[in-house]
Chains A and B, each alone.
Chain A
Amino acid sequence: MSGYLIHSARQLADKIYEYWVEAPRIATKHAAGQFIILRLHDHGERIPLTVVETNPQSGQIRLIVQVAGKTTEEFAQLKTGDFILDLVGPLGQATHIHNWGNLIVIGGGVGSAPLLPIAKAAKAGGNKVHAIIGARSKDLLILTEEFETVCDEVRVCTDDGTFGTKGFVTDVLNSWCETGTRFTYGIAVGPVPMMRAAAKTMGQWGIPGLASLNPIMLDGTGMCGACRVTVNNVTRFACVEGPEFDIHGVDFNELMMRNRSYINEEHEAVEHAHQCQLNEMIKHVRAEA
């Protein structure tokens, strides 16, 4: 086998997995906000993933993956000692950390993973960091304890109320602001509808800030332009100019629409893979019979 060794693998939550992968050059270079692109095998697609943490001493990077399609389903089956065929990075621009003052970071679902290094870097940059971590349900919450150690205050919410406050991250933001806290900057990472809602609520409270976008990508080096997003009415390439952009300028509806470009094919790929597995099993059973 060749490629990038998975040093450790474990399940974090329902359909969410964590890996430490050997990638020494990336481990020394990566900064908060940047991402990598990987490919699992020779027939595989290239998918972007945000790096959650790096350990330059051990030469490892920490990835968190949520099962959402064929590639991530295959990823979830990888174990300690397995290899990832291709892994390139760090890609994209690092978060430009300023001393914003009173920062609010908002993470939705698995979007909390890329948010963690940004919160860390912002804290190191002298900011007072507050976090809202939300998920659909308790089973899908990740990294809340790590946010506790990094941030000045963390509030957790779930859509169904199984943990923390019942409601959306925007509900928490509203009530936080209503009690008189004035945030001077905000950074949101999560599913597109969540970021769109966060942008609206932040706008209502006059909070400027960033969103980290997750469009479809192929090469990740500006070569293909699949990751086009519209920000303040200008087409931008998220892979080289982003992935973070002015949250109040992003056309989230367009991003959501473009991310659904291959929705049918994504289902087809999963079904094809399941059919192949089934055929293999049948062959196996017949051979044994």
Chain B
Amino acid sequence: MSEQKRNLKAHPTRTPMPERDPLERVKGFDEVPLGYTEEMARAEAERCLDCKNPKCVAGCPVNINIPKFLREVREGRYQDAADTLRTTNSLPAVCGRVCPQEEQCEAVCIEGIKHDPVAIGNLEKFVADWERAHRTITTREVVETTGRRIAIAGSGPAGLTVAGDLAKLGHDVTIFEALHRPAGVLAYGIPEFRLPRAIVKSEIEYIERLGVKFVYNVVIGVTVTLDELFEEGYDAVFIGTGAGLPKMLGVPGENLIGVFSSNEFLTRINLLGADRFPEFDTPVLHAKHTVVVGGGNTAMDSARVAKRLNQARVSLVYRRSEEELPARKEEVHHAKAEGIEFSLLCNPVEVIGDENGRVKAIRCIRMELGEPDASGRRKPVEIKGSEFNLECDAVIVAVGNAPNPILTKATPDLELTKWGTIKVDPDTNETSKRGVYAGGDIVSGAATVILAMGAGRKAATAMHEYLMNLPAKQNMQAS
């Protein structure tokens, strides 16, 4: 092989990702990064040092064999690269788009010590897209069925990962989803320009091809209880119901017309098509000046969706400074390029309405950074007397989500933490209820897609062991 002859010093900087022009892209919901060409992908993959002891694999929450798939890209063996991704990751086209690689695999890339780290995320996106374009997703190898049935509550990233992993091992998996469409936050939360619906659809089709069944409009815990699932013949249950309970501001005026949680705003558009009203029946409020409160990825998503929806002014209000913004740098960069105005170091104290109860301004107070708090970040402190009104006609609150209590409330024998998340064994993700596992935001509190997938992977491994050690069923032939 020519592997030894590679000139590793040739490319100290990473191949930039071509992007749609900011002024053009805000006119619609098309995906912003255009993707690598084959040449770009192979050039970027050339930059991998192929370390003997690759740190990137451990940096990936689902432990993708990164050096192997990069080698396969270099050699133009894209299908093999796709297979390598799929071995440990059921949703590569999603991860290549929404993972914070800069905090994970790319953060520990050895090449990154002296130069730019290898653009692993961009390459994952390239391979997943190549696979989709060439429609060569390998169908399930015939695995022996185990006769074990698994029910999964929630079809978000955690549930899909558990489903994919367990189906590959020959188990009979059914996912129950409360909404009318699959994929949880990937469907209702993340906007089209960051994660196109077609991508989500094709990833779901892959999971279906593995033999996983999807049942919609079922709220586990309410429509069917966990105990009833076991009575119906399921051998184990995974709970991946996410962190879907939006935190509001807790200030006067937060229920005025025009104040939304980011979940509501994004759901109207992503899940219900409100940007295409009246062709679709769900409306959404249009605003001349939208103020988004918060500094995370969801705040950036909300601001950028509002920009596209309204073609008008959008501002973001965040109580700390730019350095502390919890959103990915890339998302902040995209938001700024699209003309989102950042009002940093200010915090809302009141939403002010007109005589019809519609938002007309948000009253904020300026902040300064004080001593570091428990999180190690400098604590924002109010500057007395610095209140000011920011005129606006919509406020989107994106200050985080609490764990959704609908299942846990209906299942009193499930042990919870004081934060309302489900308590699990850290090694197996098993809950206090026998045969019931949990993972993702319902365990960790609001986090990322890939961390939910990592938890799902860990749970799936433990669930497989649990299922294989169960006493033989009396009516095995029934399956």
A235 on interface, CB distance cutoff 8 Å: yes
Q: Which residues of A are found within 8 Å of B254, using beta-carbon distances?
A: 228, 235
Nearest-neighbour CB distance to chain A for B257, whole angstroms, equals 5
Nearest-neighbour CB distance to chain B for A28, whole angstroms, equals 10
| Other-chain residue from A26, A71, A85 in contact with B281 (beta carbon distance below 8 A) | A71
Are B255 and A272 interface neighbours, CB within 8 A? no
Q: Mark A50-80, 1 if CB is under 8 A from B, else 0.
A: 0000000000000000000011000000000
B245 on interface, CB distance cutoff 8 Å: yes
Q: 16 extra interchain contacts, Cβ-Cβ under 8 A, other than A224-B246, A235-B255?
A: A26-B223, A29-B223, A43-B273, A43-B279, A45-B280, A46-B272, A86-B217, A88-B180, A90-B223, A221-B244, A223-B245, A235-B248, A240-B409, A254-B357, A261-B285, A269-B281
Q: Which 10 residue pairs spanning A and B have beta carbons closest together?
A: A265-B283, A223-B244, A272-B278, A257-B357, A224-B264, A88-B217, A45-B281, A86-B180, A225-B261, A45-B282
Q: Which residues of B are found within 8 Å of A45, using beta-carbon distances?
A: 272, 280-282
Q: Which residues of A are found within 8 Å of B405, using beta-carbon distances?
A: 222, 240
B466 on interface, CB distance cutoff 8 Å: no
Nearest-neighbour CB distance to chain B for A196, whole angstroms, equals 15
Are A262 and B283 interface neighbours, CB within 8 A? yes
**Contact size class for A?**
35 or more
B337 on interface, CB distance cutoff 8 Å: no
> Which residue of chain B is the closest to A222 with respect to CB atoms?
B245
B406 on interface, CB distance cutoff 8 Å: yes
Interface of B is mostly: loop
Nearest-neighbour CB distance to chain B for A179, whole angstroms, equals 40
Given contacts A225-B263, A257-B257, A262-B283, contact A88 B277 (CB under 8 A): no
B residues 169-202 touching A (CB-CB < 8 Å): 178-180, 188
A200 on interface, CB distance cutoff 8 Å: no
| Other-chain residue from A222, A266, A269 in contact with B406 (beta carbon distance below 8 A) | A222
Q: Which residues of A are found within 8 Å of B219, using beta-carbon distances?
A: 88-89, 91, 221
Give the CA-CA distance A173 to B106 in the complex, in Å: 71
A159 on interface, CB distance cutoff 8 Å: no
Are B278 and A268 interface neighbours, CB within 8 A? yes
22 contacts between A and B (CB under 8 A): A29-B223, A43-B280, A46-B180, A85-B180, A86-B216, A87-B217, A88-B216, A88-B217, A88-B219, A91-B219, A223-B188, A224-B264, A225-B246, A225-B263, A225-B264, A226-B264, A228-B254, A230-B255, A235-B254, A240-B406, A268-B277, A269-B278
Q: How many residues of B contact A (CB 8 A)?
A: 41
Are B255 and A223 interface neighbours, CB within 8 A? no
B residues 187-243 touching A (CB-CB < 8 Å): 188, 216-219, 222-224
> Which residue of chain A is the closest to B184 with respect to CB atoms?
A223
Are A261 and B272 interface neighbours, CB within 8 A? no
Give the CA-CA distance A87 to B264 in the complex, in Å: 20
Q: Which residues of A are found within 8 Å of B273, using beta-carbon distances?
A: 43
A219 on interface, CB distance cutoff 8 Å: yes
A residues 250-269 touching B (CB-CB < 8 Å): 254, 257-258, 260-262, 265-266, 268-269
Give the CA-CA distance A261 to B283 in the complex, in Å: 10
Q: Which residues of A are found within 8 Å of B282, using beta-carbon distances?
A: 45-46, 218
| Other-chain residue from A219, A228, A262 in contact with B179 (beta carbon distance below 8 A) | A219
Q: Which residues of A are found within 8 Å of B386, using beta-carbon distances?
A: none
Give the CA-CA distance A260 to B279 in the complex, in Å: 21
Q: Mark A246-289, 1 if CB is under 8 A from B, else 0.
A: 00000000100110111001101100110000000000000000
Given contacts A25-B223, A43-B279, contact A222 B404 (CB under 8 A): yes
A residues 131-187 touching B (CB-CB < 8 Å): none
Are B272 and A218 interface neighbours, CB within 8 A? yes
Give the CA-CA distance A218 to B283 in the complex, in Å: 11
> Which residue of chain B is the closest to A37 with respect to CB atoms?
B217
| Other-chain residue from A224, A254, A266 in contact with B261 (beta carbon distance below 8 A) | A224
B residues 255-283 touching A (CB-CB < 8 Å): 255, 257, 260-261, 263-264, 267-268, 272-273, 277-283
A126 on interface, CB distance cutoff 8 Å: no
Are B267 and A223 interface neighbours, CB within 8 A? yes
B356 on interface, CB distance cutoff 8 Å: yes
> Which residue of chain A is the closest to B245 with respect to CB atoms?
A222
Interface of A is mostly: mixed
A125 on interface, CB distance cutoff 8 Å: no
Give the CA-CA distance A5 to B285 in the complex, in Å: 34
Q: Mark B367-406, 1 if CB is under 8 A from A, else 0.
A: 0000000000000000000000000000000000000111
> Which residue of chain B is the closest to A261 with respect to CB atoms?
B257
Q: Which residues of B are found within 8 Å of A223, using beta-carbon distances?
A: 188, 244-246, 263, 267, 404
Q: Which residues of B are found within 8 Å of A86, using beta-carbon distances?
A: 180, 216-217
Q: Which residues of B are found within 8 Å of A87, using beta-carbon distances?
A: 217
Give the CA-CA distance A94 to B261 in the complex, in Å: 26
Nearest-neighbour CB distance to chain A for B397, whole angstroms, equals 8
Nearest-neighbour CB distance to chain B for A69, whole angstroms, equals 9
Q: Which residues of B are found within 8 Å of A91, using beta-carbon distances?
A: 219, 222
Give the CA-CA distance A177 to B223 in the complex, in Å: 41
Nearest-neighbour CB distance to chain A for B262, whole angstroms, equals 10
Q: Which residues of A are found within 8 Å of B216, using beta-carbon distances?
A: 86, 88
Nearest-neighbour CB distance to chain B for A252, whole angstroms, equals 13
Interface centre among A86, A221, A258, A269 (most CB of B within 10 A): A221
